[in-house]
Every structure is written in C-alpha cells, then in structure tokens.
Amino acid sequence: MEATKPVGKRHRTKYDAAFRTEAVRRVTQDGQAATRVAQAMGMSEAVLGKWVRAARAQEARPAGSEALEQEN
C-alpha cells in the first residue's frame, strides 16, 4: 500500500533575510538572470521574481513615503 499525500497541503520553504538579500542582490546588482540565480540557490523562480519586484518598488519610493502613508 502506498502512502498518500494530503490533498491541498504543500510544503512552504521559509527563507531567512540574508538568503533573500543575497538572491535579490545577485539579480539587481550583479545583473545575473533570475532563472539562473533561482536554480543555483535551489528556489522557485516565481518567488525570486516577487522579491526582485518588491525590492525595485521599494527603491523607487521617495524617502519618507512610508511615514506619509501611515499618516493618511
């Protein structure tokens, strides 16, 4: 008899801040392709893409914009 996996339950990998920072740095500063970085670091390309988009959006915000958003 084979063991079955519960339906709808997927394993979510948690990455620490240093891992995340290094992966994003390789793409944004070193100019490496996200696909290659994701493969080399053993992670999903979709997750890395999300991190890179978030980092670029954060860079595009003017300084102090977080304080203004909290006030409104």
pLDDT by residue (tens digit) across 8-18? Answer: 777 888 999 99
Tens-place pLDDT, residues 37-58: 999 999 999 999 999 999 999 9
Question: Is 4 among the domain residues?
Answer: no
Mention every residue, 6+ apart, whose C-beta is less than 8 A from residue 32.
26
Give the count of domains, the chain: 1
Mention every residue, 6+ apart, whose C-beta is less than 8 A from residue 2.
none
Question: Is 68 among the domain residues?
Answer: no
- Residues written for the chain: 72
Question: Is 33 among the domain residues?
Answer: yes
- pTM score, two decimals? 0.70
Q: In whole numbers, what is the pLDDT of the chain averaged over residues?
A: 85
